[in-house]
Amino acid sequence: MKIIFLGTNGWYDTNVANAICVLVKTKKYDIVLDAGNGIYKLDKYVDGSRPVYLFLSHFHLDHIAGLHMLLKFNFRKGMTICAGKGAGKILNSILRRPFTVPLKKLKYKTEIVELPAQAGRIPFAFECLPLVHSDPVLGYRFALDGRTLVYCTDTGYCANAVKLAKGADLLISECAHGPGETNPGWPHLNPESAAAFAVESGAKRLALVHFAADRYPAVKDRIKAEKIAKGIFKNTTAARDGLKLTV
């Protein structure tokens, strides 16, 4: 399983990174986690010869704005968009004229799967659970190619996140808050709490993503976050756009 970080910012793009999007390449599928503006790089790594599955954590614009770019691609085996309850109504209200090209007008087949109700339509093992945020958000756990990958973004600390990440080979966790920062009214993790989350869950490796663009305006800010997190959980990497990991 190969992980390619196409976008690692939260909120908006900067000269450091695009908004959140992560590609997971497995033996049979190309899996995309969130559709921030980093998704525009997808055709560097995906040629459309395998089914594409896009999992959205939630519907905040920094996680779905890249859907406007779906017209750029030619996924000959089709794309399945997986998201929470009400996804069909929500996405079809945005992916239409005058905003963008509707899904049904793309040159490849697309379908929307609402989770968890329609999870059985996905041909590989995964689990999703609600996390803690200002609006409904899902965390994901995938069991593919003999490895376990967990993706938890836009969340404060919660039991469901720990449950999903239990013993994961790789935990991709958000790190939107700056070091030492907390805000109960805007649930997110900081480097310390993300690392503590990895320790508690028994994850083997931690990749920090979704760095808030205003809190982490420079690469040095990510380096600092990584150093702090490593003091709690040694096997931590602060992801940057273009980073590739093998799990």
The tens place of each residue's pLDDT in the chain, 247 residues long, gives: 999 999 999 999 999 999 999 999 999 999 999 999 999 999 999 999 999 999 999 999 999 999 999 999 999 999 999 999 999 999 999 999 999 999 999 999 999 999 999 999 999 999 999 999 999 999 999 999 999 999 999 999 999 999 999 999 999 999 999 999 999 999 999 999 999 999 999 999 999 999 999 999 999 999 999 999 999 999 999 999 999 999 9
pLDDT value of position 59: 98
| Residue 192 to residue 189: CA distance in whole angstroms | 8
pLDDT value of position 96: 96
pLDDT value of position 92: 96
Domains and CATH numbers, the chain: 2-246 (3.60.15.10)
pLDDT value of position 211: 98
Let me know: does 23 contact 52? Beta carbons within 8 Å.
no
Question: What global pTM score does this model have?
Answer: 0.98
Structure tokens at 96: 């239409």
pLDDT value of position 132: 97
